[in-house]
């Protein structure tokens, strides 16, 4: 068939795209079962050694899930991986997972493994986790491979320049002159190196470091061994305001319909709902889910997208088309299809939120349910009304004089673009544009401590996802007023530093 012939541009044919999509779903679902099964193990009944191995497998499984998502998106041309994808990164948790993975690998070779984090390293950053994890994983893998005795260590510190510095030191033989001359080339490993591999690891490391905006340096140490250092300048990341640890939502008065055909996921979801005191019923396919809705009233529905007899998309459409009181019942979709086209189709059907398989931990699960149950006005309480100037001041301080001016220039330009775009989007009731501009605004406002503005942007974003923009004029007016005030504040700061506003 013609569809089997690869497209000369490298873009998959429709048949290949379908196969990749289905393969991606099955791979993600399999990983979800592995991670879900691990979460159901009562770790209080196993010894410390077994508990450590379970944590190691969990951390590696979650990394595998993220790699699958990135790889499939790249193969299907659904994302631009020439740029990074900043997100909130909890450094203590990130480094803990990294230690779980690599301490086990080192132990298999009889090596020690140490990870340290200096007190000055921020706890919460806006940074591309996947690119950082791939960079460090390749460096650590290389260090462990070439170290036959001794230890490997990862030290996370702040350099004098203000850069976030991650240095991996090993007690191996160091790099030969031939290896150093071709270290970052594609398959640049010299002949006769004595270890398996083709040199792709350091090539990937340099590419990932470049995507992060950082630099890689390599040195042999006088007493033996080598050090590979990743420096991420302050302009490549921001300090995010730590997210408050919220209590689990009280769902004791909430009745939840769970439509899920996988027994493991049923058990995981039931366990998490039980922790929040929710009442729930489980439907094993889409037809049974609609029958439950005909018989009883629910406050929330969790709908798996891939179900027999009637899939989740059709179930959500039926809910939204029904002339029942639950037509606006919040619906959270659960899916192993995570590419943009799949997400767009799910939101278009009427979902309020999406939970990707493998399901996140209890706190994240509870936060999504709480957000879905709240109306657009709920996240916008008068709390945190004041602007927290300390976040912006800290960013400017660690950037240094030159870096601070550049940061203010970029921030001012981004805020003006966001203000113009959001003003027009709200005037047109353009839900797609509102979603796009509020997504940017959430990150900008959070980074500089504008918590009330961030909450308003989150509420507008949620309303846009639900298609309820027409009823959010008061939220939009307040968001634009606060956004204008933030633009003025940044302009004043630029003027004080000698920059034209």
Residue 280 sits in a domain whose CATH number is 3.40.50.2300
Please report which confidence band the pLDDT of residue 470 belongs to, taking 50, 70 and 90 as the band edges.
low
Residues 218 and 307 in one domain: no
Residue 382 within any structural domain of the chain: no
* Terminal Cα-to-Cα distance of the chain (whole angstroms): 61
From CA 442, how far away is CA 418, in angstroms rounded?
11
Single out the residue in 188, 216, 243 at which a domain terminates.
Answer: 243
Residues 237 and 123 in one domain: yes
Residues 226 and 119 in one domain: yes
Residues 230 and 273 in one domain: no
Single out the residue in 185, 213, 243 at which a domain terminates.
Answer: 243
Into how many domains does the chain fold? 3
Domain limits for position 406: 389-496
Residue 484 scores a pLDDT above 80:
yes
pLDDT value, residue 250: 86
Residue 62 scores a pLDDT above 70:
no
Residue 31 within any structural domain of the chain: no
Strand order in the sheet with 238-239: 87-90, 124-127, 238-239
Residue 162 within any structural domain of the chain: yes
Residue 33 within any structural domain of the chain: no
Residues 237 and 90 in one domain: yes
Residue of 142, 211, 136 whose CA lies nearest to 173: 142
Regarding predicted confidence, which is higher, 433 or 471? 433
Residue 187 scores a pLDDT above 90:
no
Residue 29 within any structural domain of the chain: no
Residue 59 within any structural domain of the chain: no
From CA 121, how far away is CA 119, in angstroms rounded?
6
Please report which confidence band the pLDDT of residue 75 belongs to, taking 50, 70 and 90 as the band edges.
low
Single out the residue in 208, 243, 278 at which a domain terminates.
Answer: 243
Residues 238 and 306 in one domain: no
Average pLDDT, the chain: 77
Residue 7 within any structural domain of the chain: no
Residues 361 and 311 in one domain: yes
Average pLDDT over residues 333-360: 76
Average pLDDT over residues 215-226: 89
The SS3 assignment for 154 reads strand
Residue 141 sits in a domain whose CATH number is 3.30.565.10
Residues 162 and 273 in one domain: no
Average pLDDT over residues 206-234: 87
Residues 102 and 236 in one domain: yes
Residues 326 and 420 in one domain: no
Residue 410 sits in a domain whose CATH number is 1.20.120
pLDDT value, residue 4: 36
Whose tokens are 């594609």? That residue is: 186
**H/E/C letters for each residue in 159-208?**
CCCCCEEEEEEECCCCCCHHHHHCCCCCCCCCCCCCCCCCCHHHHHHHHH
pLDDT in tens, 126-135: 788 878 888 8
The SS3 assignment for 6 reads coil
CB 29, CB 262: distance < 8 Å: yes
Dihedral of CA atoms 21, 25, 30, 31 in degrees, nearest 10, equals: 90
The SS3 assignment for 269 reads helix
Residue 15 within any structural domain of the chain: no
pLDDT value, residue 19: 63
Residues 265 and 356 in one domain: yes
Average pLDDT over residues 197-201: 56
């Amino acid at each position: 068939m013609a569809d089997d012939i690869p497209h000369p541009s490298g873009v998959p044919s429709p048949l290949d795209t379908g196969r990749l999509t289905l393969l991606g779903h099955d791979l993600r679902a399999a990983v979800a079962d592995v991670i879900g099964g691990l979460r159901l193990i009562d770790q209080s009944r196993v010894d410390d050694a077994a508990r450590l191995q379970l944590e190691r497998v969990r951390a590696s499984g979650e990394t595998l899930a993220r790699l699958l998502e990135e790889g499939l998106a790249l193969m299907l041309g659904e994302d631009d991986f020439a740029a990074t994808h900043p997100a909130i990164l909890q450094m203590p948790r990130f480094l803990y997972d990294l230690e779980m993975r690599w301490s086990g690998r080192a132990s298999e070779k009889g090596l020690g493994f140490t990870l340290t984090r200096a007190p000055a390293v921020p706890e919460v950053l806006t940074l591309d986790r996947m690119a950082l994890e791939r960079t460090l994983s390749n460096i650590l893998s290389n260090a462990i491979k070439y170290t036959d005795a001794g230890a490997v260590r990862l030290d996370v510190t702040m350099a004098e320049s203000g850069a976030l510095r991650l240095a991996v030191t090993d007690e191996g033989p160091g790099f030969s002159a031939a290896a150093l001359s071709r270290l970052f080339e594609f398959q640049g490993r010299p002949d006769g190196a004595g270890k398996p591999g083709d040199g792709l690891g350091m090539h990937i490391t340099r590419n990932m470091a470049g995507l992060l905006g950082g630099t890689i340096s390599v040195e042999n140490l006088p007493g033996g061994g080598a050090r590979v250092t990743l420096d991420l300048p302050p302009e490549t990341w921001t300090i995010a305001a730590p997210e408050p640890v919220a209590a689990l939502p009280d769902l004791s008065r909430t009745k939840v319909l769970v439509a899920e055909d996988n027994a493991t996921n049923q058990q995981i979801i039931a366990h998490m709902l039980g922790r929040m005191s929710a009442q729930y019923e489980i439907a094993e396919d889409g037809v049974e889910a609609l029958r439950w809705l005909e018989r009883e009233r629910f406050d929330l529905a969790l709908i798996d997208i891939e179900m027999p007899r009637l899939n989740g998309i059709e179930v959500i459409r039926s809910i939204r088309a029904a002339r029942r009181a639950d037509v606006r019942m919040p619906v959270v979709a659960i899916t192993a299809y995570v590419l943009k086209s799949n997400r767009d189709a799910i939101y278009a059907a009427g979902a309020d939120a999406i939970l990707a398989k493998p399901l996140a931990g209890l706190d994240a699960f509870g936060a999504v349910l709480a957000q879905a149950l709240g109306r657009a006005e709920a996240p916008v309480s008068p709390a945190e009304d004041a602007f927290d100037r300390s976040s912006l001041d800290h960013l400017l301080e660690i950037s240094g004089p030159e870096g601070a001016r550049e940061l203010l220039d970029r921030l001012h330009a981004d805020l003006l673009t966001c203000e113009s775009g959001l003003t027009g989007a709200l005037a047109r009731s353009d839900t797609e544009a509102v979603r796009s501009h509020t997504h940017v605004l959430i990150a900008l406002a959070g980074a500089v401590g504008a918590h009330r503005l961030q909450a308003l942007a989150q509420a507008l974003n949620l309303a846009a996802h639900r298609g309820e923009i027409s009823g959010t004029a008061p939220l939009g007016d307040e968001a634009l007023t606060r956004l204008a005030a933030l633009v003025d504040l940044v302009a004043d700061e630029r003027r004080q530093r000698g920059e034209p506003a």
